Structure 1
Amino acid sequence: MTTIFEDIKNAFSRRDNGLMKLILINIIVFVVFKILYVVFWLIKHPEWYAIVASQMCLPADISQLIFRPWSLLTNMFFHEGFFHIIFNLLFFYWFGALVEEYLGSRRLISIYVLGGILGGIAYILAYNLIPQFKVLSARTELLGASGAIYAVAVAAATLLPNYQFHVILIGPVRIVYIVAVYLFISVVNITGGNAGGNLAHLGGAILGFIFIRQLQRGNDLGKPVSFVLEKFEKLSRPKSKLKVTHSIKRNGVGGGGSHVTQEEIDDILDKINRSGYESLSKEEKQKLFSASQK
């Protein structure tokens, strides 16, 4: 058991591990709520579980949403069925690994969070503005990472449309076609029993497409999420007892060199995590190299 907790701690301590962090958060939430269900069942109050679990779900009814606004975020980390979470996380792992490899962990997390939020907004709007759904809004709630995951999948397909996955019994298939099939299924299933989930899929998909198109134009829609993550990481990051304060030379000229602090190194590493090594300036690369030689 100690090994499990150590593995989880190590996974969260890594800077470039956004995919695994998101997967672990989903799994941890799932396990905690399953244990809660067993506890409430043992004390003969299973109805208490429904009350607690509903706090994680996003209600379509705006009068309920007002009293749990956090659910716009928490619903994308909450699953109740084993198959629901297994298939969601497998789908997320396949496409999330691509996004993380090419865009970095911060942007993967940004797409996931923003996709989940836009998916939730699409769900709320549809259930309150479209007559076919409006009558159901008072008794409908959204849960699951599907909207966020569809954002990541569409982002991957928009960024790398010709990348191929090997599909069982079919062979190599371009991911743009795989994602197109999933989107088509979501559209035709809007009339089915999981209309809310399919609406969230489409909302997330729109975010994924727009995010990549804007990024290709030089606009990073994930900056607000990255800003919050940076602040949180700086607050939670333990202060190192070893401080890097050695001097470096500028343009081969000795003396009068500037000092490289631990905070500067941390900021440079954060920048690499967000945008890759090539985004560093010449001075930042020199600081990083000098620190590595100490």
Structure 2
Amino acid sequence: MSIVNDIRTAFSRRDNALNQLLLINILVFVVLILIKAVTFLAGGSGIYESIVRLFSLPADLGALARRPWSVLTYAFLHQGFLHIIFNLLNLYWFGSLVREYLGDRKLVSLYILGALAGAALFLLAYNLVPAYRNGPLAEVLGASGAVTAIIVAAATLLPDYTFNLILIGPVKIKYIAIVIVIISLAGIDGGNAGGEIAHIGGAIFGFSFIKLLQRGTDLGRPVQATGDWFGGLFSGRPRLRVTHRSRPTEPATTARKGGVVKPEQDEIDVILDKISRSGYESLSKDEKQKLFRASQK
């Protein structure tokens, strides 16, 4: 079938992380809908709920020990069309910015680690904070924590980038991120307190990820290394090792056509400073390409 081929093609490309994340969420949602419909027609009461519970994140540590995979799988589960639509729209809009500026690998790192950060704060709150610890058992599911990490990361990297919102007009994404965080804080005493806490965990991670990245620390390296390992495992291709001979130390700057070229990292720092001052739109095409090429290394 052409649909199956399209899906296979989407996952075979190495530069397609955003679409792959969107597809995974959509496929899981569709599979769950099919399971729900089939089990309902077959009279299998409770089967759908049991499957959702199996992959949702529980606050109870005993339940978590029986299904440790849920610290990540919860971030790919959705219940209800509005739930998944809002999450995937935000993932697409803000994920496109992160992908364009930082590349596919850092986008995936943000999603995975943002989900883990949301899970960590949720578990800490429901096991240490009296207001939650003494309440009813809770479970959380949905990509909101991971998506919030991407939203806040994009706003931290490109605070003055503007989206045109329906009925509102142009709004800088830093204000969108602030509103999302405030809404999450306002909801920590409501019926979806666990979800709102996961959003806050994701937001804290997204902000920290970009700030540390700008200082030269990439928190996503373990995720990228794990992805490379699995990629090599399933591709069946041998891993290549590059060796080189030592060369005499070169000067920090090199001449080219009569001019002096700064080291590449200095150029990237200048571009990032320009983004923080004037926004991504102020970059030239050449500067955007340099930033993207650097993100792939």
TM-score range, shorter chain: 0.7 to 0.9
Write out aligned runs for 1:202-241 (5 A): 202-237=200-235
Aligned to 2:56: 57
Matches within 5 A, 1:1-294: 2-138=1-137, 140-237=138-235, 276-278=292-294
Contact 1:61/1:137 (<8 A) preserved: no
Q: Deviations over 1:187-230 (max 9, x none)?
A: 01111111000000000000000100110000100000000111
CA distance in 1, matches of 2:19, 2:131: 39
Over the matched positions of the two proteins, sequence identity in percent amounts to 52
Deviations 1:31-66 (A, max 9, x none): 111111112112211212211111110000111111
Residue 190 of structure 1 aligns to a residue in which SS? Answer: coil
Checking the alignment, whether the CA contact within 8 Å between 2:18 and 2:99 is kept in structure 1 is: yes
Work out whether residues 101 and 295 of structure 2, in 8 Å CA contact, stay in contact via their aligned partners in 1: no
Runs of 4+ with >2 A deviation: 135-138, 235-240, 275-281
**Please, what TM-score do these two structures have when normalized by structure 2?**
0.79
Q: Deviations over 1:123-154 (max 9, x none)?
A: 1111111111112352x101000000000000
- Give structure 2 stretches of 5+ with no counterpart: 239-290
Q: Provide the C-alpha distance between the structure 1 equivalents of 2:295 and 2:200, rounded to a whole number of angstroms.
A: 32
Is the Cα–Cα contact under 8 Å of residues 148 and 203 in structure 2 kept in the other structure? yes
Provide the rounded CA distance (Å) in 1 between the counterparts of 2:191 and 2:63.
22
Residues 24 and 279 of structure 1: is their aligned pair in 2 closer, same or farther, counting only changes over 3 Å?
Answer: closer
**1:238 to partner: Cα distance:** 6.0
CA contact (8 A) 2:72 2:112 kept: yes
Q: CA RMSD in A?
A: 1.7
Q: What residue identity is the alignment partner of 1:96?
A: G
Structure 2: how far apart are the matches of 1:50 and 1:280?
41
Structure 1's unaligned 5+ residue stretches are 241-274, 282-294
